Amino acid sequence: MENLSEDIADLDSEIDVVTSRMLSEWDWKAQERAFGKKDLESTSPESSFDSMCSSPEMSSRSRHQSFGHFSYVPGHSRTPSATSQKNKPKMSTKRRMKASEREKMRMRSLAEALHQLRDYLPPDYSKRGQPLTKIQTLKYTIEYINELSDMLNHT
DNA sequence: TAGGCCATCTGGTCCT
DNA sequence: AGGACCAGATGGCCTA
């Protein structure tokens, strides 16, 4: 029981380390471990060709509906009025692709951090032996930390 | 087959 | 100007 506070401190610092590491650097080796070669290929800088295949010009245009001369990206309900959009110059294709790559990396590091966080939860949390979803991971983590805090407070 | 989860793309907004 | 973050949409995969 006395180890509890150490455990919490450990967990805390580990989470810190993990998140800061994931956010500050992009370790391709780790990526290979986490996502496998196929994904890696698709994320290496040169392979931004993959993202090209899945990028605005190549795939997204085919994946998302394309209506004639303009590309309709459904669901941009937040898009302001047509007038205000007219005033705003569109991002260049090159810049858009770069932004997409960054966003992809960002979301992957987030997913990786969640995977690692999942490892700190006791196995009881994953019922039926299925891996926890992202949301479950976050919710159970909160639950777990609360439990640990309660235990600490009652010692 | 429907529904859940996930990865990805994208435009908007805020910040440096 | 460009990067980071956010939220909506879409399509693929998987499971009940």
Amino acid A10: pLDDT? 52
What are the residues facing A71 on neighbouring strands? A66
What are the residues facing A122 on neighbouring strands? none
Mean pLDDT throughout A57-81?
31
**Secondary structure (3-state) at A1:** coil
Amino acid A99: pLDDT? 86
C-alpha pair distances (Å), A84 with each of A62, A78, A88, A121: 27, 12, 7, 48
In angstroms, how far is C3 C1' from A108 CA?
A: 17
The mean of the pLDDT values for chain A is: 59
Mean pLDDT throughout A138-152?
93
pLDDT band at A88 (very low <50, low <70, confident <90, very high): low
Amino acid A130: pLDDT? 79
In angstroms, how far is B6 C1' from A115 CA?
A: 13
Q: Is the CB of A99 under 7 A from strand C?
A: yes
Chain B: nucleotides below 7 Å from protein CB are 4-13
The two three-digit tokens of residue A20, written as one number: 């800061």
- Strand C proximal residues, A:47-76, Cβ < 7 Å: 63-65, 73-76
For residues A7 and A53, the model is more confident at: A7
Highest mean pLDDT among A9-13, A40-44, A63-67, A105-109: A105-109
Total Cβ atoms within 10 A of residue A31: 19
Amino acid A112: pLDDT? 85
**pLDDT of A151 over the 80 cut:** yes
Mean pLDDT throughout A25-41?
35
Amino acid A73: pLDDT? 34
